[in-house]
Amino acid sequence: MNAPDVGPVIACNLDALSPSERARRSDLAQLIQKNSTSLEETDSGYLIQLPDDSELCDRALELILLERRCCPFLSLALSFEPRNGGVALAICGAPGIKEFLTENGILGCAQPAERSSCC
């Protein structure tokens, strides 16, 4: 008898980041939220529009690199429009991801750092 395909487990790895990395991740998430120009819902997650700013893009990439360690079930991408157009941070994944992001904040655990359910 075959086991049903349940898809990826949607659970953060709380041990993936050190306390200082979790604090940095939270700071970066707040910076991205503060500087976002819009938030768009997609079929499988959210798209955060950012201004075309090199330093902010560096911080967004730093956030992605931390986020993928603690939340390996997320699909994360940073894309750039041509001719110095906008920058977009995509956070999406398998079915159930949107609900997870809605409950825990679009940037995973960007809300109060004391939340124990996520990074």
Confidence band of 30 (pLDDT split at 50, 70, 90)? very high
Question: Mind listing the domains of the chain with CATH numbers?
Answer: 19-104 (3.30.1360)
pLDDT at 4 over 70: no
pLDDT at 96 over 90: no
**Distance between CA atoms of 117 and 103, rounded to whole angstroms?**
10
Burial of 99 (0-12, 13-18, 19+ CB in 10 A): exposed
Q: Which of 2-11, 22-31, 67-76, 97-106 has the lowest mean pLDDT?
A: 2-11
pLDDT at 113: 37
**Distance between CA atoms of 12 and 111, rounded to whole angstroms?**
15
- Contact predicate 53/89, CB 8 Å: no
Residue with tokens 């998430």: 29
Which tens digits make up the pLDDT trace of 59-72? 999 999 999 999 99
pLDDT at 100: 83
